[in-house]
Amino acid sequence: MKNNRRSLCFWSLLIAATTLGAYSCGDSSTGEQGAVAHETTGTAERRVRVVAVERRDYEPTLVVTGSLVARRHAVLRAMVDGDLEELPVDIGDEVGAGELLFQIRLTDYRLALQRAEAALAEVEAAVEDAVRERQRLEGLYADGAATEQMRDKAITVRRLAEAAVERVRAARDTAAQQLEDATVFARYPAVITARFREQGEFMKKGDPVLEVTDLSVLNAELDIPERFVGLVVMGMSGTLGFEAGVEDAVGKVVAINPKVDRASRTFRVKVAVDNSSRALSAGMFCTATIELPREAGLAAIPEAAVIRDEGRSWVWIVEEGHTFQRLIEEAGSSDGFVLTRAGIQLGQEVVIDGFGGLVDGSAVVVEDQ
């Protein structure tokens, strides 16, 4: 019995040792295979798709929004005090050049002019007397019948009379100007776009009465990004589009602000449009389309190749099986392509698919298109 127990223990230990050895060999094999797989994975090349840079002509179109502003408009104010005696126009009225707009009561200003003219006549008569008196005393002085003091006094009296004439003449001219300023006429054809006072009200100098607006020509005021400085020039045509079924209008660039606003990085441009038909209204929103000068032979790549971030644009190029990042200067987009002025050259290959995770010098395999 004791021998049987010893034999059973021996065979049990032998089987356990053999099994442990088998497991140990199996783990070693698995670890070695994993290392090979990891090593193989680490050296695998990425697969990308590329296209060659081509050359294209670029006919850029600038599209910006803005508002219509009257070329000429003014708020007309009372230039003298008095009752608003005449106000024959109202909002919406069209007036021609020279047409009466409003008038302050004239009576007081007519009387003031009459008084000034009478005073001027008096001092002019006094000058004539002073001239005659001086001539008389000059003759007496030459004959020895008048003293030098008498002659000098006559000269002084004449000068004072002449000074009085100038002073009173200025007062007469002021009265005449005030009489003229009491009546206000239209200086150019316009539309009344605001009326601030009513007939019969007392006006003080400087009080607003009417606003007049020349609607025959309107300016579209547009704020254009600074990258277009030098591309938009005087006389360039632009098409203005409007909402609410209003037909498009064609105008020309008539003013360009040479200063770029530092906050918005834009500059102001005015496009003038004829509005003799009165189809447009000041203040309307518009979309302006301006055809810019054609640029020939720019490097062109598909939109899918361009990566943009924080105002910069770049692409990945492939050279000798490796990728490299290149910053580009965009000129614009057309038909799904980005046109560039710098950064890439004709014939280079740019990545259009598979650039996720690339770094400079990444080894890649280019897939067939």
Q: Is residue 133 part of a domain?
A: yes
pLDDT higher at 101 or 155? 101
Q: What's the residue count for the chain?
A: 369
Cα 67–Cα 72–Cα 76 angle in degrees, nearest 5: 120
Cα 325–Cα 231–Cα 258 angle in degrees, nearest 5: 110
pLDDT digits (tens, 9 = 90+) for 234-244: 999 999 999 87
| Domain count across the chain | 2
Residue range 180-186: mean pLDDT, rounded: 97
Yes or no: say if 314 and 326 are a contact pair by the CB < 8 Å rule.
Answer: yes
What pLDDT is recorded for position 49? 80
| Distance, CA of 148 to chain centre | 75
**Is residue 301 very low, low, confident or very high in pLDDT (cuts 50, 70, 90)?**
confident
Task: Report residue 20: phi and psi, to 5°.
Answer: -60, -40
pLDDT digits (tens, 9 = 90+) for 34-78: 333 333 334 457 887 887 888 877 877 889 999 999 999 999 999
Q: Is residue 146 part of a domain?
A: yes
Q: Is residue 259 part of a domain?
A: no
| Distance, CA of 369 to chain centre | 46
Query: Which of 132, 147, 180 corresponds to the end of one domain?
Result: 180
Q: Is the pLDDT of residue 354 over 60?
A: yes
Q: What Å distances lie between residue 325 and 247, 309, 366, CA to CA?
A: 48, 14, 16
pLDDT digits (tens, 9 = 90+) for 193-231: 999 999 999 999 999 999 999 999 999 999 999 888 888
Yes or no: say if 210 and 102 are a contact pair by the CB < 8 Å rule.
Answer: yes
Q: What is the CATH number of the domain that holds 299?
A: 2.40.420.20
What pLDDT is recorded for position 42? 45
Q: What is the pTM of this model?
A: 0.61
What pLDDT is recorded for position 286? 94
Lowest mean pLDDT among 36-40, 243-247, 325-329, 337-341: 36-40
Query: Which of 180, 213, 244 corresponds to the end of one domain?
Result: 180
Q: Is residue 166 part of a domain?
A: yes
Closest of 280, 281, 366 to residue 317, by C-alpha: 366
For the chain, the distance separating the N- and C-terminal CA atoms, rounded to the nearest angstrom, is: 82
Residue range 271-300: mean pLDDT, rounded: 89
Q: Is residue 13 part of a domain?
A: no
Question: Quick one: tokens of 359?
Answer: 């770094």
- Residue 38's DSSP bridge partners are none
Determine the 3-state secondary structure of 25 from DSSP: helix
- Of the chain, the percentage scoring pLDDT greater than 90 comes to 46
Yes or no: say if 83 and 201 are a contact pair by the CB < 8 Å rule.
Answer: yes
Q: Is residue 213 part of a domain?
A: no
The set of residues, in sequence order, having a beta carbon less than 8 Å from that of 24 and lying 6+ positions away, is none
What pLDDT is recorded for position 44? 58
The set of residues, in sequence order, having a beta carbon less than 8 Å from that of 195 and lying 6+ positions away, is 87, 89, 90, 91, 209, 210, 211
Same domain assignment for residues 176 and 117: yes
Yes or no: say if 290 and 236 are a contact pair by the CB < 8 Å rule.
Answer: yes
Task: Report residue 97: phi and psi, to 5°.
Answer: -60, 135
Residue range 82-98: mean pLDDT, rounded: 96
Query: Which of 180, 195, 222 corresponds to the end of one domain?
Result: 180
Q: Is the pLDDT of residue 31 over 80?
A: no
What pLDDT is recorded for position 40? 37
The amino acid occupying position 276 is: S
Average confidence score pLDDT of the chain? 83
pLDDT digits (tens, 9 = 90+) for 167-182: 999 999 999 999 999 9
Query: DSSP character for 243?
Result: S
Q: What is the CATH number of the domain that holds 167?
A: 1.10.287
pLDDT higher at 369 or 269? 269
CA distance 261 to 45: 49
Q: Is residue 127 part of a domain?
A: yes
What pLDDT is recorded for position 21? 42
Long-range CB contact pairs, 15-18, < 8 A, 24+: none
The Cβ-side half-sphere exposure at 45, using a 13 Å CA radius, reads: 11
Domain that holds residue 336: 47-59+295-366
What pLDDT is recorded for position 137? 83
Q: Is residue 193 part of a domain?
A: no
Residue 216's H or E segment, with its range, is strand 208-225
CA distance 102 to 19: 119
What pLDDT is recorded for position 369? 61
What pLDDT is recorded for position 33? 35
E strands along 226-265, which residues? Answer: 237-241, 249-256
pLDDT higher at 147 or 199? 199
Residue range 177-189: mean pLDDT, rounded: 96
Place of tokens 């200003």: 109
